[in-house]
Chain A
Amino acid sequence: MRDFSSRPRRRPATGAEKVVVGLAGAMLLVSAAFALTAWREGRSVHARVQQARAESQAALTRAQSFETRRDAGQVLAAQALLTADAPPARVVSELARLMPGDVRLDDLRLVYGSRLQVEMRVSARVVGSYDLFLDRLERSPSFTDVLPGDENREGELRALVRAVWRGPGA
């Protein structure tokens, strides 16, 4: 119906328009339902992923824990074994046997771990005696991984030597 109002009323919707709006509304509802289902599925998948991640992390932590414990156990066992097998007196005795007369043991540090680390400070009156000691140490079956450290060759020679105890006459 014609209307010459300065602010015309909204035209009532025709039947076809109502049908279109109804269809659009129905499609909107269906889309919303699909979206809701997808969102729920997404949340579920996300939760499962998180759970799997957490489980994986827990497994990794447990594995690392076992590894650490195993290492610690091994180290402890080795320490126990080394302490029994390589008492300090025995190591010192072996070193004393290898040292020339004018080489002196100033300091000795034994670190019991999976292996027995031997760290010593020695003084030698002449350089040749020190070199001889190193040579004997490297050749000795009781020691391995001989590593000469800092040296001070001014006057009396002072040096740091590291080695690993392999066992008596091994």
Chain B
Amino acid sequence: MPLLGAQFVVALEASCVAGAAVSRGFGSPRIRSVARMPLAPGALAVSPFEPNVLRPEEVRQALARVAAALGLGRAEACVVLPDGVARLVLLEVPADAVAERFARFKLSGALSYPVEEAVVDVLPLGGSRVLAAAVRRSVVEGYEQVARAAGVAQDRVDLAPLAALAALSRDAASSHPGVDVILGETSVSLAAWLGGSVRAFRNRRRDPSPDEPERLRLEVARTAALAGDGVKPPRVRVLGPGASTLVRRWREEGGDAELAWRLAVPEQAPDAAELAWLGAVLA
């Protein structure tokens, strides 16, 4: 039986399917339950061009178990796609333009497939700035089909980096200069905040080599230079799978970083800061 008043989210990554039930009362959101089912390597491969769900039956089973563990029932859930499926661009929207149309226009020349095949939407990021994202329709359909097959009633589809950034942008701390690092299993996004709006946004695929944490640290430092106001060093918030390890390592090396959000989660659940997709129900 679904939890009354709860919002559900299910997220898919290359290594697992996860989900959460979050209740929203008068206070801050409360994570009622978190479920996670691992996927065998190769069952789901994140790509912006090709179908991602390579072994649908395995993914369906994992998704169905997550839904059952959350007590989803017939309630609708937000389906969050992993970072790495979308083309992301930070745009300054003219005052007389509709953001979604402007984004489609700007992205039309930046996609390696016809723009007609793209599903485009935007995340407002303060002022006239939006983070525009384009996902290939066939890629989205692959996820939707497996969700439907697993009996998950789809509310909407969100993207992990946008969901995370949407939740982070509501935080008062985002008005201070800083860099948000949103980790995904296959991609990473960096957003530089200054004066309450995102001044720079970067998104790239992750390097599986052991040098990736150091490369990322340097990249964050360069991005932080864009966000700096010259008064104090910009704070760095990290979110997503591996965030705890990365923050600990950077701190050990003398750097200053923090986990992007701290929320109470049920026992056995990973740290909430590891779950970037939670932003879909926190924003």
Contacts and interface: CB of A to CB of B under 8 A. Distances in A.
Interface string A1-23: 11111101100000000000000
Nearest to A5: B157
A5 B119 contact: yes
A4 B122 contact: no
10 contacts: A2-B123, A3-B157, A3-B158, A4-B81, A4-B135, A5-B154, A6-B119, A6-B137, A6-B140, A8-B119
Interface residues of A, number: 8
Interface string B114-125: 000001011100
Interface in B139-159: 140-141, 144, 154, 156-159
Contacts of B162: 2
A108 B92 CA distance: 119
Contacts of A4: 81, 86, 119, 121, 133, 135, 140, 156-159
Contacts of B137: 6
B140 A5 contact: yes
Contacts of A9: 156
B144 A2 contact: no
A2 B122 contact: yes
Contacts of B123: 2
A6 B134 CA distance: 11
B32 to A, nearest CB: 21
Contacts of B133: 4
Interface in A1-47: 1-6, 8-9
Nearest to B142: A6
Contacts of A1: 156
Nearest to B155: A9
Given A4-B86, A4-B119, A8-B119, 7 more contacts: A1-B156, A2-B121, A2-B123, A4-B157, A5-B157, A6-B140, A6-B144
Contacts of A3: 121, 156-158
In this complex, the member of A1, A2, A3, A4 whose beta carbon has the largest number of chain B beta carbons within 10 angstroms is: A4
A7 to B, nearest CB: 8
